[in-house]
Amino acid sequence: MDLEVKKVDQITGTIKAPASKSYSHRAFIAAALAEGESVLRDPLYSEDTLATLEACEKLGALFQRFPDKCIVQGTAGYIRTPDDIIDVKNSGTSIRILSSIAAIAPRANFTVFTGDESLRKRPMADLIDALENLGVMIYSAQNNGTPPIIVKGGFDGGETDIKGDVSSQFISSILMAAAYSKNPVTLNVRGKFVSKPYVKMTLSVMAKFGIQFEYDTSNEPEYSSYYIEPQKYECTDYTIEGDYSSASYIIAAAALMKSDITIKNLYKNSMQGDKLIVDIIKKMGATVDVNEMDIHIKSNGNLRAFDINLSNAPDLLPTVAILMAAADGTSKISGVEHARFKETDRVHNCAIELENVGVEVEEFQDGIIIKGNPTGGVVNSHLDHRMVMAFYVLGLKIGNITIKDAACYDISFPNFLEVMHKISQ
């Protein structure tokens, strides 16, 4: 599906932010691991989160889906090995976290994870190495550190290290499975710790489901350590908050155009790193009032450039890139080298597609320099949901943008077009 985006004059109204994709993944897994029945309120049912949900079903949990809640009968850690492979499609979060979870199955059993062509290029070697030190037998089927991934049951525990500058999902993966290891687990995160807010989110979900842990920062900056003893996840009633990542496209649209809009279900005290988008549009010239559970934005659409480090919020790269492209002046986005290992190489692809719509761009290893004044053109989505949604927002500002292969926004924001249509009328 190709999308032709037309220019609009203003962004107005009141809208509810979609549920958090990151929290939904983690809540589905925690509920699947818990003893008893959990109720998850306001979950996100998107292509990515459904990949996690369906994988958890194959591992033995029972899910009843309703529009406003999901009732989960957990496994109490007694993971079942499915008869067939588990296909998580394009969901890197699913395969990375669930690879550790599958290791708590009985020792004689094997679980195989695969996905689409893009996912089968995603690096997994660092997680594989870290899990092997914990007594887990885990393999890359092609012996190249990428999926398909084969996991043999058995999680002994012990101590392991992992680099902090590759993927926070590897850290979250080990932490979520550690409670069901045979022995206590110590996880040392070495060096620079990028995307740390995502790990904080993981720990907050684990805590809501009764898991206790210790965190030691006494050896920073060389490394920091997590310690988790064997224990069980407890069932709970858990409400999933709104998603600053998905809401960033609404927020960006409000900043780029004349606007007066309220976005509900965004928590002021959220642990999500992507709430940085609120500070970004403030610095660029929009007026923002932040309340306990919603934000109100007004803008005249005239934005100013500035420099930003996105090391703790790499998923914002496409959104911030189009904001900078429409701003007055030259901007620099840095700290996002790890965004080269997302669904696509987002650093390179953002640079390419900004150039395709008339923007002057300089790419470097961990970011891009952007000089504004986009004129429009044809954008390749690279089958990346965040690229589609970001360039759609830019199209609302300038018009004359066509996005190729745009249907993949379903991965994280299934009703994206409906929401954007509602606020741009």
Q: Cα–Cα distance between 347 and 388 in angstroms, integer? A: 15
Beta strands (DSSP E) in 278-357 are 287-290, 294-300, 307-309, 330-334
To 5 degrees, how large is the angle CA 252–CA 258–CA 259? 70
24's enclosing H/E stretch is helix 21-33
241 burial level (CB within 10 Å; 0-12, 13-18, 19+): buried
Torsion of CA 219, 222, 224, 230, to 10 degrees: -100
Measuring CA to CA, how many Å separate 370 from each of 275, 282, 332? 22, 19, 6
| Residues 382 and 117: beta-carbon distance below 8 Å | no
Task: Give the single-character DSSP code of 124.
Answer: -
- Spatial CB neighbours of 323, under 8 Å, sequence gap ≥ 6: 252, 255, 256, 280, 281, 284, 303
Q: Cα–Cα distance between 109 and 104 in angstroms, integer? A: 10
Active site residue 315: yes
| Residues 103 and 112: beta-carbon distance below 8 Å | no
CA neighbor of 421 nearest in space, from 15, 1, 86: 15
The b-or-e profile of 88-109 (16+ CB within 10 A means b, else e) is: bbbbbbbbbbbbbbbbbbeeee
Beta strands (DSSP E) in 149-286 are 149-152, 158-163, 185-190, 214-216, 223-228, 237-239, 258-264
**Taking the mean position of all CA atoms in its chain, how far away is CA 125?**
20
- Which among 42, 87, 274, 315 is annotated as catalytic? 315
349's enclosing H/E stretch is helix 346-356
| Residues 91 and 119: beta-carbon distance below 8 Å | yes
Hey, is 202 helix, strand or coil? helix
Q: Cite the active site residues.
A: 315
